[in-house]
Structure 1
């Protein structure tokens, strides 16, 4: 199964191989939501200089990642217009990359409408400087540590960063 190969490569930090496997999974099942969202976050992270340098990504791969990220975001919005993962990551990436407006109320609405989907808690926890969604953020952090994909490592790093800042401001 290609998705399992993609997840394995992703968890092992084999970014280019993981991307190839996610792409293969999508060629087999264009509606595989896990493959779509994991791949778009992987591509998004791959366009970050520090991430690409740390993982020794090739220039052609990075260029393709930037192109495919836009394509995947558009495809995901078309195929899954009401999917919380797609709604969240579309808005979050636009905010993080371009500085688009991102109202914390968007996260609150997603968390209320989709209580099992916790990734908006990461953003709300961060945007509120740890004043909101702390319990959900910690639960999400534990899930992410167990999952260990690029997507999960990113989410965990944001939550851990907020926790570290909180610790330092309490000293």
Structure 2
């Protein structure tokens, strides 16, 4: 069973290290103070978009919240086993909607954030789009993925890919009642 850990503690630590209060972080990220408080307290877990906004505002990479204890080249990973023990669970409690497995863990100087992501259907999740700097590439491994990109909606199936500019408002989630597995790479300049 994967060990869940909350990134809120790390975010709070970086914010306090930089002497940034929640109000200033909220202004910089365009996220509400209430959202940030819940994030830091482990009450909510955002998708990659809000995390990237927080990372950018704190002057760190997204991966800093996930690992970054050392640099190693090349990074060789495996889905499952020890890697799964360090999965980042996000979404609504008690069952997370997203489970991120960082595939770049250990390479602190990386420019891309590769992930294996499990997405579970959650009808209570609002299909709210978000935007952030960078680009994203997704390949569907299993299931059906709903991608809302601007005013377009796409349902992708196993073997389908999508590559887009993250500045365009977007949403990624399960298209139906079955879990989805994807490989995703986010680039944040």
More helix by share: 1
Structure with larger RCO (C-alpha < 8 A, sep 6+): 2
